[in-house]
Amino acid sequence: MRMPPDMIDNQYQAVAQFIVPKSYLERKIKMFLLVKDETKATAHAMPDEIAGFTDILSDALMQILFSTHHERQIFPIQYDPKSTALGAMQNTQTNFEISCHPL
């Protein structure tokens, strides 16, 4: 996965692109919002904390996959109350826009 995907691979104008086997759509899939905790000194800039998550998306992803036009749907992110980033994010709303296409 590259963020954003290479132009040649990005036929859907996506910010991120994931390949998920169809069999995984029958499992309880959630998406997580990861952030970097700036209060911790680390040797990397990778996200290291779960700031939020979606509800289970399996049914919605199956509906999108089998629909004719594979329209994008928007899902709200629920913030994790234990996250140290909650203070900076609590007055905002984060949504996750997703579509699902067959390969």
Q: How far apart are CA 87 and CA 90, in angstroms?
A: 6
pLDDT bin (cut points 50, 70, 90) of residue 3 is low
Q: Is residue 65 part of a domain?
A: yes
Q: Is residue 11 part of a domain?
A: no
Burial 54-88 (b: 16+ CB within 10 A, else e): beebeebbeebeeeeeeeebeeebebbeebebeee
Q: Is residue 52 part of a domain?
A: yes
pLDDT score of 9 more than 80: no
* Domain total in the chain: 1
Q: What's phi and psi for 63, nearest 5 deg?
A: -60, -45
Domain with 35 in it? 20-98
Q: Is residue 4 part of a domain?
A: no
> What is the pLDDT at residue 8?
74
Q: Is residue 48 part of a domain?
A: yes
Q: Is residue 73 part of a domain?
A: yes
Q: Is residue 92 part of a domain?
A: yes
pLDDT score of 13 more than 90: no
